[in-house]
Amino acid sequence: MTRQTTTHSSACNLCFVNCGINVELGGDDGRQFIKIRGDDKHPTSKGYICNKAARLNYYQNNGARLTTPMRRREDGSYEPVDWDTAIAEVAARLGAVKERHGGERIFYYGGGGQGNHLVGASALGLRGALGVKYMGNAISQEKTGLAWVMSRMIGGLTHPELHHAQVAVLIGKNPFMSNGMDRARPWLKDIKADPKRTLIVIDPRRTETADYADIHLAVTPGRDAWCLAAIIGHIVQSDWLPHDWLDEHTRGLAPVVEHFSTVPVDEYARFAGLDPALVRQAAQQIGTAQSVALEEDIGIQMAPHSTLVTYLNHLVVLLTGNYGKPGTQGMVTQLAHVISMHRSRLDEDGVDQLPQLPVTGAPIISGLYPGAFLAEEILNDHPERPRALVIESSNPVHSLPGSNTLSEAIRSLEFSLCVDVAMTETARACDYVLPASTTYEKWEATFFPRNFPANIFHLRKPLLPAAPNTLTEQEIHARIIEAMGLVEEGDLVELRAAAAQGMEAYRDAFFGALGSNPKIGQLLPYFLYRTLGPSLGAGNESTAIVWGLCHVYTAQYAAEAARAGWRGPNAGIDLFNALRNAETAVVIGESTYDESFSRIPLPENRIQLHIPELLEEASVLRTMTPLLDVTDEYPFALVAGARRAYTANCAIRDPRWAKGKHITALTIHPDDGEKFQLPDGALVKLETDMGSTVIDLAYDDRMQPGTASVPNGQGMSFTDEYGNTLPAGVFANTLTNPRNRDRFAGTPHHKFVPARISLA
């Protein structure tokens, strides 16, 4: 018998765009995602979804689901334990590490994937309870260089208005496959059809996105810095600079102009593998356009010179005045920050004195340590090394470089905990694994929305009751905090009583108590969850944290919030109620272009063009020496993790979710196939300095000769319903070297892994 279906609105959790979806639930148990459509009512995705969202049932319903707490035995196998035992033992073990070595020796990693960030917000309470000082996550293996540059130059997060720009520039980003922006494919079609607009794509591969470009700069991998420096050089040398605007809004122009006025444009262009005339043409388009919006992604953020390239990208648009006006970029306000701005400590030369990890000296940007240093930080006998690790909603053993070493490092700790929906590669290195309810079994949200001038937030209702014996992370955190004996019933009584009188009474009581009781500040999400939470109705407790965020937002960005209708003494409460009751995302604030300037928290509210350490690094380019190069031993520049039609980081473990040919194959250009005698379809051995693997080869004439590519997020262990382990492609990070990383931000060079390929 087939049950009746019901339709519910939510959002896709497979990439950070989080398109609005309508899910038809049905099947024998009423829990299957029968059909998924784009939600027309969603204010930014407006009905758009890509091919991946249709297959979300493989995330929600699959054989890899973990439904009991697990404890590691001496011999490395796992045994199920009940929740009370698990919580008591986890709390005791964490408490013991804290007592013996101090909370600073407990590291945290994760806090949310592409669709679930309430776990990260709630973890603030757990981290407060444990005294954690050092945390990292997926952001600190890709976007901390960007955060650092933005903080130094603008002091805030910006949104490039690609949809309205006369000239749009994409560098190291392939939205046709990866999306990573609103309505990627319709936008590509629109810009191609519009003769008045120009798309410039900078990518070694003739990507599916490059098919829509007016200018494709097929840069040599890892040499974007020369390409960008040549573009800036041509703009500066042609004096396409808006001098009045620069005088009014920026500082530090002189050293930048001085540097680029002598850059050898043609020589740099050729060194980047490009026709100088084409580079000059791209520079002219940018230098003379009404509006330019530029978006970069991991094609350069995970490639050689990544932070330098990010700086050069910002110079391209800021030197040409493309900030704070329509079609350029504006400063964003967010309900919560997935990445907070970095607070610099500049020395007298204007160089940032970054905080560091105690053992390796790894740079800490925006409060996050780079994951590429994690194993090294652990595997030594330094007294200040980490002794315990808490990992939530992330699979670092799979997603950080050097998987085998990281796994060994985690096993060497005094204690490790993983909270996940599946028994992941990371879980298999940890002492305890706690099963979380999925993103669709609880209230969820992400802190990704980055739109301008209007920004949104989408608080999503649960679609399904939680699977038996799983808990939300907020409940797990609360139970650990309580088992550690950090709070008593008496701490909660007054706030609970206030909550019973309504949100206004609670607000007054809460903010009063916050000022007088330091414990509330230390465990803030916990107090909201356990005191306001119950008054919101059973199953809704975990929205209490969003109530807190709404109050902070409407106070911090009162003008923006008021323009969106959230004003007056109850603005925070009104916004929270709107988010809770809405069927889709809600506009939380509307900014003006003026605010993009008045909110710059840097000297004189001006954009700072000069980052001394990065301009100095740009001088290194004059030596014409690539940071990484192919060799006779390793003749391929391997992209260790490209976005393809069916990849979704580590979110979906069942490889059967992917449709089509060559989904998991290693790809090379046919000319290389001939040159190295590697036939299309052959089984080949792929080797790097870290290890080797055997994989199917497929030709792809879009590739640049000399490069190779494997998809990201493959090689996760999965057993089907008959007990068979299914082949799932290459576990790329067993081949990547964590020392191959950016010297400023510590982000890995996954896009340039020197590799060799031979017949297996």
Q: Does 138 bind ligand MGD (CB under 6 A)?
A: yes
Q: Which two tokens stand for residue 150?
A: 């933005």
Segment lying near ligand SF4 (by CB under 6 A), choices 48-56, 208-216, 357-365, 565-573: 48-56
- x/- mask, ligand SF4, residues 385-424, rule CB under 6 A, reads ----------------------------------------
How many residues make contact with ligand SF4 (CB under 6 A)? 11
Radius of gyration of the chain (CA): 26
Identify the DSSP state of 432: E
For residues 149 to 168, the per-residue mask of contacts with ligand SF4, x marking binding by CB under 6 A and - elsewhere, is --------------------
Closest separation in Å from C-beta 547 to ligand MGD: 21
Q: Does residue number 50 form part of the binding site for ligand SF4 (CB under 6 A)? A: yes
Stretch that binds ligand MGD, among 31-39, 95-103, 390-398, 680-688 (CB under 6 A): 390-398
Please check whether residue 253 is in contact with residue 243, taking contact to mean a CB–CB distance below 8 angstroms.
no
Give the Cα separation of 19 and 456 in Å (integer).
12
How many angstroms separate the CA atoms of 401 and 750, rounded? 8
751 is a contact residue toward ligand MGD (CB under 6 A): yes
In eight-state DSSP terms, residue 93 is H
How is 350-381 classified by DSSP, letter by letter? S-B---B-TTT--B-BTTB--GGGHHHHHSS-
The residue type at 10: S
Give the strand pairing for 292-296 and 167-171: parallel
CA distance 400 to 378: 14
Interface pick for ligand MGD out of 438, 451, 693, 734 (rule CB under 6 A): 438
651 binds, among ligand MGD, ligand SF4, none (CB under 5 to 8 A by kind): ligand MGD
Q: How far is the CB of 171 from ligand MGD (least distance, A)?
A: 5
Does residue 52 touch ligand SF4 according to CB under 6 A? Answer: yes
| CB-CB contact of 414 with 94 (8 Å) | no
Site map (CB under 6 A) of ligand MGD, residues 591-630, x = contact:
----------------------------------------
- In angstroms, the CA 339 to CA 448 distance is 9
H/E segment holding residue 199: strand 198-202
Q: Three-state secondary structure along 487-506? A: CCHHHHHHHHHHHHCCHHHH
61 binds, among ligand MGD, ligand SF4, none (CB under 5 to 8 A by kind): none
303 part of the interface to ligand MGD, by CB under 6 A: yes
x/- map, 441-480, ligand MGD, by CB under 6 A: --------------------------------x-------
Tokens for 566?
Answer: 């959230």
- The residue among 37 and 622 lying less far from ligand SF4, judged by its C-beta, is 37
| CB nearer to ligand MGD: pick between 212 and 597 | 212
Instruction: Figure out which of the listed residues 39, 182, 203, 617 binds ligand MGD, where binding follows CB under 6 A.
Output: 203
Choice between 271 and 448, CB closer to ligand SF4 = 448
Indicate the residue type of 47.
Answer: G
Partner touching 328 among ligand SF4, ligand MGD, none, CB below 5 to 8 Å by kind: none
Binder to ligand SF4 among 15, 169, 400, 710 (CB under 6 A)?
15
Q: Residue 14, interface with ligand SF4 (CB under 6 A)?
A: yes
Minimum CB distance to ligand SF4 smaller for 52 or for 205? 52
Q: Which of 98, 342, 750, 756 binds ligand MGD (CB under 6 A)?
A: 750
Which lies closer to ligand MGD via its Cβ, residue 293 or residue 561? 293
Q: Decide: helix, strand or coil at residue 409.
A: helix
Determine if 419 is a binding residue for ligand MGD (CB under 6 A). Answer: yes
Annotate 382-399 with DSSP letters as a single string. Answer: -TTS--EEEEES--HHHH
Which DSSP state fits 2?
A: P
Residue 13 and residue 440: Cα distance in Å, rounded?
Answer: 9
Shortest Å, Cβ 17 to ligand MGD:
8
Structure tokens at 729: 């492609």
Select from 28-36, 512-520, 561-569, 731-739 the region that touches ligand MGD (CB under 6 A).
731-739
Q: Which of 53, 199, 228, 429 is in the footprint of ligand SF4 by CB under 6 A? A: 53
Q: How is the beta sheet containing 106-110 ordered, strand by strand?
A: 78-80, 70-72, 432-435, 415-420, 388-392, 106-110, 135-136
List 725's β-bridge partners, or say none.
719
Specify which residues 710 forms β-bridges with.
Answer: 640
Distance (Å, rounded) from C-alpha 171 to C-alpha 161? 15
Q: Which residue number, 39 or 491, has a Cβ lying nearer to ligand SF4?
A: 39
* 501 phi/psi in degrees, rounded to 5: -90, 0
Cβ atoms of residues 748 and 733 within 8 Å: no
Using alpha carbons, select from 199, 222, 314, 179 the residue that is nearest to residue 611.
314
**Beta strand ranges found along 585-630 (DSSP E):** 586-590, 607-608
Binder to ligand SF4 among 23, 25, 49, 230 (CB under 6 A)? 49
Residue type, 716: M
Q: Which of these segments, 338-346, 378-386, 413-421, 511-519, binds ligand MGD (CB under 6 A)?
A: 413-421
Q: Name the binder of 327 from ligand SF4, ligand MGD, none, CB < 5-8 A by kind.
A: none
Q: Within a 13 Å sphere around the CA of 175, how many CA atoms are in the beta-carbon half?
A: 27
Of 50-58, 297-305, 428-436, 570-578, the window that binds ligand SF4 (rule: CB under 6 A) is 50-58
Question: How many residues form the binding site for ligand MGD (CB under 6 A)?
Answer: 62
- Per CB under 6 A, does 434 bind ligand SF4? no
707 strand-pairing partners: 637
Q: Residue type at 697?
A: L
Six-digit token pair at 164?
A: 């309205």
Question: Of 422 and 498, which has the nearer Cβ to ligand MGD?
Answer: 422
CB of 113 to ligand MGD, least distance (A): 3
* Tokens 């009423």 sit on residue: 30
519 Cβ contact partners less than 8 Å away, ≥ 6 residues apart: 486, 487, 491
Closer residue to ligand MGD (CB): 133 or 751? 751
Neighbours of 736 (CB within 10 A): 26
Q: Going residue by residue from 176 to 215, which x/- string records binding to ligand SF4, judged by CB under 6 A?
A: ---x------------------------------------
Say how far apart CA 246 and CA 477 lie, in whole Å.
49
312 binding ligand SF4? (CB under 6 A): no
Which residues contribute to the site for ligand SF4 (CB under 6 A)?
Answer: 12, 14-15, 17-19, 49-50, 52-53, 179
Which residues contribute to the site for ligand MGD (CB under 6 A)?
Answer: 15, 113-114, 116, 119, 138, 141-142, 171-174, 177-180, 202-205, 207, 219, 221-222, 224, 297-300, 303, 392-396, 399, 419-422, 424, 436, 438-439, 473, 639-643, 647-651, 712-713, 732-733, 736, 750-751
